[in-house]
Amino acid sequence: MSILVTGGAGYIGSHTCVELLNAGNEIIVLDNLSNSKPEALDRIKEITGKDFEFYQADLLNKNELMTIFSENKIDAVIHFAGLKAVGESVSIPLHYYHNNITGTLILCEVMEKFGVYNLVFSSSATVYGLQQCVPLHEELPTGATNPYGRTKLMIEEILRDVHVANNKWSIALLRYFNPVGAHSSGRIGEDPNGIPNNLVPYITQVTVGKLPKLKVFGNDYPTEDGTGVRDYIHVVDLAAGHLMALEKVMDSQGVNAYNLGTGIGYSVLEMIDAFERASGNSIPYEIIDRRPGDIGVSYADSSKAKQELNWVAQKGIDDMCRDSWRWQINNPNGYEKDQVKRKISVT
Ligand code: NAD
Ligand code: UD1
């Protein structure tokens, strides 16, 4: 099969490209590199020993997209491209709405023009909003608390409308829980810009000494140790979920949402513990106030993905921490090792 991967140079996209290539698919990657590095693409090739076409292109540029579709035979699209920082989305909402929503509209227009109706979309557990009724299942009401979350929710609705208008569309809305970990080679992983917002990249940077200590956001949640509980899922399991979703999309029609999580929640203190085990280092932390907008507990009911996609997460918390740690120590400055070294040597 030949698959267009939008946002394929990013964290989840790069891991999914590896799985797609290893399973014998052809891929075409589109990315504007606004939040990723071309080095990730070289490393996908290095891990898999396979080559693929890359277009440094923006989804907002319809002409570029038309060129990609006319130059390649495309059976399906996996659509990762989007902006994802919650805090930033509050500061620059128009940019988020334009990039994520307009980008998806243009993608769908061009897909229709070329008769490509198979789509796997990166949604998020954020669409459950402030819902406290765990485990979260796909039939629960949705909501959003920030512009980023609203882009995911709106895109889900748009894609449902697109299918109502033309039932040739076959679409999987994958609601990811908390992706962490890295490829076991230690060659690709999460490379956040600046100071990380999310727990695991923050912990790994504290563990290598790049950041002084972790701030734990609140210990007064109604959880066993009072800290927030999340469903962390290994990015390679998540990538495998896309292949299963692709199979489903290729031999059915309609729009279906699927939770991709492990179904197990871990607290912040349990994550610190697991990282200390994986790294052999102690992780300094302090408890501070809750982060505004955070919920106490979130974990998935992924039984629909098990039943309909035949997908179940295989990797546990120790695999996640070990692989995140390996990526961090092998690539202390992410993909920018050489550039950072150069910067340091001139100052
Ligand atoms: P990422 O930022 O690493 O990857 C997204 C990629 O899309 C980047 O390489 C970026 O350069 C590219 N991109 C953004 N806008 C583009 C545009 N207009 N045209 C072309 N390329 C563009 O993010 P990720 O963590 O790999 O997430 C992938 C998708 O999954 C995103 O849609 C994100 O919202 C969603 N998601 C991520 C998480 C998470 O915690 N990482 C959780 C839930 C959902
Ligand atoms: C965050 C986003 C969410 C997004 C998800 C993607 C916010 C408010 N929410 O969710 O929209 O879909 O990432 O994975 O940004 N924590 C700390 N200290 C830190 C960082 C986090 O204690 O420095 C705690 C949080 O309070 C939470 C847990 O760790 O309990 C996980 O946080 P994080 O990794 O940011 O993920 P989410 O809060 O689930």
Beta strands in 14-81 (DSSP E): 26-31, 53-56, 76-79
287 CA distance to ligand 2 middle (Å): 15
Q: How remote is the CA of residue 51 from the centroid of ligand 1, in Å?
A: 22
| DSSP for residue 297 | B
Q: Kindly give the distance from the C-alpha atom of residue 89 to the centroid of ligand 1, in angstroms, as a whole number.
A: 13
Nearest-ligand number for the alpha carbon of 190 = 1
pLDDT one-digit tens code per residue, 182-225: 999 999 999 998 899 999 999 999 998 899 999 999 999 999 99
The helix or strand, by DSSP H or E, that contains position 15, with its residue range, turns out to be helix 11-22
Cα gap 70→139, rounded to integer Å? 38
In a 3-state reduction of DSSP, which class is residue 300?
strand
Ligand nearest to the CA of 34: 1
- pLDDT tens digits for range 111-131: 999 999 999 999 999 999 998
The span from the first CA to the last CA of the chain, in angstroms, equals 50
Pocket of ligand 1 (CB under 6 A): 7, 9-13, 31-36, 58-60, 80-84, 99, 103, 122, 124, 176, 179
pLDDT tier, 347 (very low <50, low <70, confident <90, very high otherwise): very low
Q: Whose CA is nearest to atom 15 of ligand 1?
A: 82
205 lines ligand 2 (CB under 6 A): no
Please tell me whether residue 128 adopts helix, strand or coil conformation.
strand
Quick: pLDDT tens for 75-102. 999 999 999 999 999 999 999 999 999 9
pTM: 0.96
Closest CA to 42 of 34, 30, 31, 50: 50
- For the chain, how long is the longest CA-to-CA vector? 60
Residue 55 is among the residues annotated as catalytic for this protein: no
Beta bridge partners of 176: 124, 260
Ligand having the closest approach to the CA of 211: 2
pLDDT > 70: what percent of the chain? 97
Provide the mean pLDDT of the chain: 95
Among 195, 210, 219, residue whose Cα is nearest residue 290: 219
Residue 56 neighbours by CB under 8 Å, 6+ apart: 31, 32, 33, 38
CB distance 265 to ligand 2 below 6 Å:
no
Give residue-wise pLDDT tens across range 230-254: 999 999 999 999 999 999 999 999 9
- Ligand 1 center to 34 CA (angstroms): 10
For ligand 1, atom 34, the nearest C-alpha belongs to 84
Give the per-residue pLDDT at 344.
Answer: 31
- The finding on whether 145 has its CB within 6 A of some atom of ligand 2 is no
Read out DSSP for 153-216? HHHHHHHHHHHHH-TT-EEEEEEE-EEE---TTSSS----SSS--SHHHHHHHHHTTSSS-EEE
Catalytic residue among 55, 148, 258, 299: 148
